[in-house]
Structure 1
Amino acid sequence: MTVEDVRAADSTAGDSRAADIRAEDIRVEDSRYEAVSSRDARFDGVFFFAVSTTGIYCRPSCPAVTPKRRNVSFYRTAAAAQGAGYRACRRCRPDAVPGSAEWNVRADVVGRAMRLIGDGVVDREGVSGLAARLGYSARQLQRQLNAELGAGPIALARAQRSHTARILLQTTTLQAAEIAFASGFASVRQFNDTIREIYAATPSELRSSRGRHAAPHDGAAGVPLRLAYRGPYERAAMFDRLAADALPGVEEVTGAPGARTYRRTLALPAGPAVAEAHERSGGGDWLDCRLHLTDLRDLTTATQRMRRLLDLDADPLAVAERLGADPLLAPLVAARPGLRVPGTADPHETALRIAAGPDAAELVAAYGEELPAPRTGPARLFPGAARLADAGPPAVRALAAALASGDIRLDPGVDRGDTERRLAALPGIGPGKAARIRRHALGDPDVLLPDDPAVPPSAAPEHWRPWRSYAAAHLALPPGH
């Protein structure tokens, strides 16, 4: 075979691969258009579609008339649609959709980056800080996010800031300048330009467009939110778990089943806060929440942490499809559609509570910091790692020292497998507690505890991937619960 023959063969193979990729892209887009045509809410947050004739982008379940296929393009993120020049639909509010469950499952750099961006790392530390946490250069990270998501970290953070700004405009009486800086914008001009670009309205017009039932609230009343989720949500089981695990001083659950309120303190970057979530259904796919913040700059971070605690970005239909195919789990999944796995509002707190076991309440009473203003309900912060490095049981001291020194990190962007191995090597932690920390503090949806007594010997847990945490949750609940 000559060199020319090899080159010709390579060219033919390349053309074939390109054709296969184009065919796959067309198939995916056709499937997405079917979801748009059927207004399938399961895909809200998984992708967005934009309409060239109107210049707007929407969530798949938008109730507007379905546009013609030739006028529709698809984007993985709202930021990518905004970058292509589209503005957010005022009817379906695509910025308010649940996050994609994909980012919780994925362990690669894109998934880890999306979890960190959601926690507000770009606003606090910039792109260089985000890249450093992930072990990449800023240029490498930018390239990877652009290649897969159509938007870089700045654009993704900007989309998140605009959503925060819209919430504050429509739920508080704060001045526009206060909202601009609370949302993370560098200037009022940048804030005004971004709002006009994304929503095709000035901040004043956006504020005046709120519904008649959305009355403004002042700072003392907190910021009211609707935390969206997809698919069914087993509220009773989640609030049962929150009530059973509530740590005195830090958390409380009040009210009768079906109408309970969960409250907890939060240690946030700019100051302490109290968050509350309500079990009662408001008639939509959301949980009502209220945040009492020391500093409104923490709104995005507090919102994301409550979403992680309540597991609101899960995809219960994908979980049910996989687990429901197992004869052992099928009746459990059918009986409790939408069962979630509680995550964390503070990964350090969750890990230290797992390490402390029944001694956690004593640690709060002895070392927890009281909130500055007197209030009803929980009024203490869980003590930080630096404070517990020389206090409490040996396992707590070992873990707290490792967290305080930075030898172990528990932020949303860490490598979960490596972190679990480091945790298991600490005195008093071991494989069992390390796996629990990975499941709850790091939010991994695919964790089974070593020798979990709820998992019978006849089970086939490898078939449950990547949702083994949910399988364990189903098996752990008593029959008929």
Structure 2
Amino acid sequence: MPRLPTPPNAAPAPALDGAQGAGELSTAQCYPALLARDARFDGLWFVGVSSTGIYCRPVCRVKTPRRENCRFFASAAQAESAGYRPCLRCRPETAPGAQLRWSVTDASRTLARQAAALMAEDPRQSVTALAARLGISSRHLQRIFEAEHGVPPLAYLHTRRLLLAKQLLMDSPLGMAEVAAAAGFGSQRRFNALFQQHYRLQPGSLRKAGEPPPSVTACGEPGLRLAYRPPLAVDALLGFLAARAVPGVEHVDAHERLISRSLRLPHQGRTLAGRLVIRFQPERDTVLLSPCSSLWAAAGSLIPLVRRWLDLDAAPDAIHQHLAGLPSLEPGLRLPGCLDRFELAVRAVLGQQVTVAAARTLASRFVERFGEDLPPGHQTPEVRRLFPLPERIAGASIESIAELGIIRNRAQALITLAQRWPTLAYARLQDGHLAGGQDLALSELQDLPGIGPWTAQYMLMRGWSAPDLFPPGDVVLRQQLTEPGQAAPTPRALAERAQGFSPYRSYAVLQLWHHAAQRTPATAASRKT
């Protein structure tokens, strides 16, 4: 039977109600949150309205349906399997997802949730390929997936594809055939048939019913709306990224609450290159994602990548409950991820034992020397370069890197990292929550010259969005957790105290770094992150 994570300090956990249909959640527990339009439950469950045949997010602004007309489901796939169609007002396809944590005590459930997460990241893959990727048989995946999510994996995958297609129809400039391909359908005919079967609408009529595209654009294109659970500390997130923005590759405009950056994106055996623009709309708990025309075909991969980069699927209330022992808390502080793991790894090495500003300068020189120009038509004065590829650095000489002001040992570390990149678990595994993946990645990274425990953990914190790491030997963390008038804790004592913040130690790290920066900006500028 499906189980559901629930924010703390809110309504009781929506439990299964034996009087309702299989896979449904308790009306008694979910309906009060629906009445309150509680955004903390957004994406954690959906409500089907029997009088209209529509299913909605808990935050939908339409008139609240009568209690007896409501059925509650743990996923959009369950709602659609029960015959409901997605709401055109609240747009279930834009809802935040659920965070995933690996648990060795409940491996089957975690594998089932891992499968759902991978479907969201790439809806084009087949169920057979997904099972092989997880190292289990298709039959076992079928069994554990249906036990956890209440629907077969193929039905869940069809829902992911249809919801992505719905979002592209309403927000993108893609033609029908391009929408079908981007959403993972083998043909436009198959897409049309499934869309009409599930939603009782022709795809073309849905596009006509859509709202005008958002005004924020990159390269003249409209944008996709991505929702998040509030609060989100937008200014703190933009400040973190702005301090580390590499000139030519990325630009942050805190006043406009906008991020623009270049990107390479693998897609169907080739690599797409372009630029994207992100604008935060905190008044709507929404982020607008506007890709260049060259990136639209890979929208199915781009959306989950951006969600992870900006940590849009975080559950702030659940996280803050575990961080109550910190000196202070910034509501909605997120864990910034990355769009390119190689880029993040290189920048982590460049930032060792230097200030954030110095690391940014070194990264800018590195990009100018080894990077490439964005394709014509996609450049702006602020964003015009692509970060260097691993193969470009693998063939570089130590002298060509060292003359940029990078010490020779660090230059050698960058070359070795690039040469080993294709075989590293850190690069190969698509998600850090795969069983044993985190330990393997940490071990392999620390075996490389010039990469110690702190740098390896930082790479996983941001490269994999690993939520439960606490980099050892961090001076700022030790200072922030030293009681007034007391001696600084030993490394062992610090690690023991950090256990109290588990399973969200990475968020504790960000909170402590942020608190230090607010109190002593000059000192915080020496952070090597």
TM above 0.5: yes
Structure-2 separation of matches of 1:447 and 1:467: 8
Structure-2 separation of matches of 1:24 and 1:217: 41
Partner of 2:474 in structure 1?
Answer: 452
Letter in structure 2 aligned against 1:232? P
Partner of 2:166 in structure 1?
Answer: 166
1:25-58 deviations in Å (ceiling 9; x for gaps): 3396232333223322211111223234433222
Kept in 2, the 8 Å contact 1:319–1:467? The answer is yes
Alignment length, in residue pairs? Answer: 446
What TM-score, normalized by structure 1, do the two folds share? Answer: 0.84
1:54 correspondence with 2:15? no
1:422 correspondence with 2:413? no
1:385 correspondence with 2:385? no
Partner of 1:412 in structure 2?
Answer: 431
Letter in structure 1 aligned against 2:44? V
Kept in 2, the 8 Å contact 1:172–1:219? The answer is no
Structure-2 separation of matches of 1:230 and 1:110: 23
Partner of 1:400 in structure 2?
Answer: 418
C-alpha displacement of 1:407: 5.2
Partner of 1:5 in structure 2?
Answer: none
C-alpha displacement of 1:294: 1.5
Partner of 1:337 in structure 2?
Answer: 331
Structure-1 separation of matches of 2:419 and 2:183: 34
Structure-2 separation of matches of 1:268 and 1:151: 31
Identical aligned residues as a percent: 36
Return the match for 2:79 from 78, 81, 90: 81
Kindly report the root-mean-square deviation, in angstroms, between the aligned alpha carbons of the 2 structures. Answer: 2.9
Kept in 1, the 8 Å contact 2:34–2:59? The answer is yes
Structure-1 separation of matches of 2:225 and 2:348: 30
Look up the SS of the partner of 1:479 in the other structure: helix
C-alpha displacement of 1:202: 1.6
C-alpha displacement of 1:147: 1.5
Instruction: Note the 1:102-251 alignment, pairs <5 A.
Output: 102-103=99-100, 108-120=110-122, 122-123=123-124, 125-211=125-211, 213-214=212-213, 220-251=219-250
Letter in structure 2 aligned against 1:465? S
C-alpha displacement of 1:343: 0.7
C-alpha displacement of 1:165: 2.1
Letter in structure 2 aligned against 1:373? P
Kept in 2, the 8 Å contact 1:173–1:216? The answer is no
Structure-2 separation of matches of 1:446 and 1:45: 22
In structure 2, do the counterparts of structure 1 residues 161 and 39 end up closer, same or farther at CA, with 3 Å as the change threshold?
Answer: same
Structure-2 separation of matches of 1:58 and 1:136: 34
In structure 2, do the counterparts of structure 1 residues 115 and 266 end up closer, same or farther at CA, with 3 Å as the change threshold?
Answer: farther
Structure-1 separation of matches of 2:129 and 2:458: 28
C-alpha displacement of 1:138: 2.8
Return the match for 2:499 from 439, 448, 462: 462
Look up the SS of the partner of 1:446 in the other structure: coil
1:473 correspondence with 2:510? yes
Letter in structure 2 aligned against 1:113? A
Letter in structure 2 aligned against 1:462? Q
In structure 2, do the counterparts of structure 1 residues 223 and 155 end up closer, same or farther at CA, with 3 Å as the change threshold?
Answer: farther
Letter in structure 2 aligned against 1:184? G
Kept in 2, the 8 Å contact 1:282–1:288? The answer is no
Partner of 2:356 in structure 1?
Answer: none
Kept in 2, the 8 Å contact 1:170–1:216? The answer is no
Structure-2 separation of matches of 1:420 and 1:113: 23
In structure 2, do the counterparts of structure 1 residues 153 and 170 end up closer, same or farther at CA, with 3 Å as the change threshold?
Answer: same
What TM-score, normalized by structure 2, do the two folds share? Answer: 0.76
Structure-1 separation of matches of 2:182 and 2:343: 26
Kept in 1, the 8 Å contact 2:274–2:375? The answer is no
Structure-1 separation of matches of 2:482 and 2:201: 60
Structure-2 separation of matches of 1:134 and 1:32: 33
Letter in structure 1 aligned against 2:164? T
Partner of 1:18 in structure 2?
Answer: none
- The answer to which of 65-74 and 155-164 deviates more is 65-74
Kept in 2, the 8 Å contact 1:322–1:464? The answer is yes
C-alpha displacement of 1:366: 2.6
C-alpha displacement of 1:240: 0.9
Structure-2 separation of matches of 1:154 and 1:219: 35
Structure-2 separation of matches of 1:356 and 1:137: 42
In structure 2, do the counterparts of structure 1 residues 398 and 128 end up closer, same or farther at CA, with 3 Å as the change threshold?
Answer: farther
Kept in 2, the 8 Å contact 1:261–1:277? The answer is yes
Look up the SS of the partner of 2:302 in the other structure: helix
Letter in structure 2 aligned against 1:26? D
C-alpha displacement of 1:269: 1.5
Kept in 1, the 8 Å contact 2:467–2:507? The answer is yes
C-alpha displacement of 1:470: 1.4
1:441 correspondence with 2:463? yes
Structure-1 separation of matches of 2:92 and 2:47: 10
Kept in 1, the 8 Å contact 2:178–2:297? The answer is no
Kept in 2, the 8 Å contact 1:105–1:445? The answer is no
Look up the SS of the partner of 2:145 in the other structure: helix
Partner of 2:32 in structure 1?
Answer: 34
1:106-141 deviations in Å (ceiling 9; x for gaps): 683234333332221x41x43343333322223322
1:352 correspondence with 2:346? yes
In structure 2, do the counterparts of structure 1 residues 466 and 389 end up closer, same or farther at CA, with 3 Å as the change threshold?
Answer: same
In structure 2, do the counterparts of structure 1 residues 104 and 274 end up closer, same or farther at CA, with 3 Å as the change threshold?
Answer: farther
Look up the SS of the partner of 1:337 in the other structure: coil
- The answer to which of 418-427 and 444-453 deviates more is 418-427
- The answer to which of 453-462 and 77-86 deviates more is 453-462
C-alpha displacement of 1:466: 1.5
